A and B are shown apart, each in its own frame.
Chain A
């Protein structure tokens, strides 16, 4: 699976959009981009995933660049409960495989 690079930490004001970047320049054609988050002392929580088109669900939007070498997770109206470590994971389809978690981005939503 391709390696990802994320900033170690970010702050965001409550009510504003949080934009979390992820670089995956070595991604290959059959690899999906997944985003999970982990709120302190809880299990990782699935947020969203995509292959090449932008995706949106009730939690967030995922914007993938045309060359697929980077993506951005957008939380449109961040709340204090969105404070968590956010993980960007690139993973191939085709088999039941593990998720390889990197260091992620610690997002702190400030009041």
Chain B
């Protein structure tokens, strides 16, 4: 099992540029989560998908952020335009929910984003 795959692992960009982060969930998982981690705010959920449909995007900080899940094996988080305050580690996680019961989320290694 390859686990959750994220790319790139590190991204350095300049303010105003577009940034795209990518995630491949574990095969067979039907829920996908995007989290952001900073020293000030800790780990916080940005958005999650269930069966490729966005369920809750209330954590997306503003319109500059958008996320898509075109199919069960791929998701993107895009920031346009990027700002220095977006600098953080972005984690993708996936889980499998066969029924309305508990599920376990498995996290990827993260993408460390630095916006200069």
A residues neighboring B (CB under 8 Å) = 32, 34, 42-46, 49, 51, 91, 93-96, 98-103
- The answer to whether A98 and B97 touch across the interface, beta carbons within 8 angstroms, is no
Interchain Cβ contacts under 8 Å between A and B, 15 examples: A32-B102, A42-B109, A43-B91, A43-B107, A43-B110, A44-B43, A45-B107, A49-B102, A93-B100, A96-B55, A98-B33, A98-B56, A99-B43, A101-B43, A101-B44
From A94, which residue of chain B is reached at the shortest CB distance? B100
- The answer to whether B102 and A96 touch across the interface, beta carbons within 8 angstroms, is no
Contacts of B44 in A (CB 8 A): 101
B residues neighboring A (CB under 8 Å) = 4, 31, 33, 42-45, 48, 50, 55-56, 59, 91, 93, 95, 97, 100-110
Q: How far is the CA of A109 from the CA of B106 in the complex (A)?
A: 24
Q: How far is the CA of A43 from the CA of B105 in the complex (A)?
A: 11
New A-B contacts (9) at CB < 8 Å, excluding given A96-B97, A98-B45? A43-B91, A43-B109, A44-B93, A51-B102, A91-B102, A96-B95, A98-B48, A100-B45, A101-B43
Known: A91-B102, A98-B33. A43 touches B50 (CB 8 A): no
